[in-house]
């Protein structure tokens, strides 16, 4: 836990979603970047990702993030909430080496008018 607090998320705003005493997911923001959005697979499909995304990006005028092409669920979530794929990488820029890595961006404000997911 010390690594996560002291290294991984240094200087980032982190939000943790807990349900029934368990960490269901978390999101981290650094400037205009959504650096992490993770959900425990046992908690997907319940709107938690949407609530985390809304919470951490409310008031941001522009948001960017990277997503693995193979993560179809995350891609659907981001695209449903106005993110647009701007660039596709070959995987050489990410730690896992998984292609494609997709740069998504969403201009504007993410407010209550966005659809629930």
How far is it, in rounded angstroms, from Cα 89 to Cα 69?
Answer: 10
Please check whether residue 13 lies inside any domain of the structure. yes
For CA atoms 102, 31, 21, 2, the dihedral sign is positive
Q: What is the mean pLDDT of the chain?
A: 85
Among residues 90, 86, 79, 87, the alpha carbon closest in space to that of 114 is found at 79
pTM, to two decimals: 0.80
Number of structural domains (the chain) is: 1
Residue 116 lies in a domain: no
51-75 confidence digits (pLDDT tens) = 999 999 998 889 999 999 999 999 9
8 domain residue, yes or no: yes
80, part of any domain: yes
In a domain, 79, yes or no: yes
What is the CATH classification number for the domain harbouring 59? 3.40.630.30
In a domain, 30, yes or no: yes
């Amino acid at each position: 836990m010390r690594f996560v607090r002291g290294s991984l998320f240094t200087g980032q705003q982190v939000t943790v979603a807990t349900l029934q005493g368990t960490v269901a997911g978390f999101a981290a923001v650094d400037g205009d970047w959504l650096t992490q959005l993770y959900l425990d697979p046992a908690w997907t499909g319940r709107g938690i990702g949407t609530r985390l995304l809304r919470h951490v990006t409310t008031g941001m005028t522009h948001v960017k993030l990277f997503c693995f092409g193979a993560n179809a669920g995350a891609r659907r979530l981001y695209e449903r909430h106005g993110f647009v794929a701007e660039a596709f990488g070959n995987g050489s820029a990410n730690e896992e080496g998984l292609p494609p890595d997709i740069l998504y961006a969403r201009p504007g404000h993410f407010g209550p008018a966005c659809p629930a997911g």
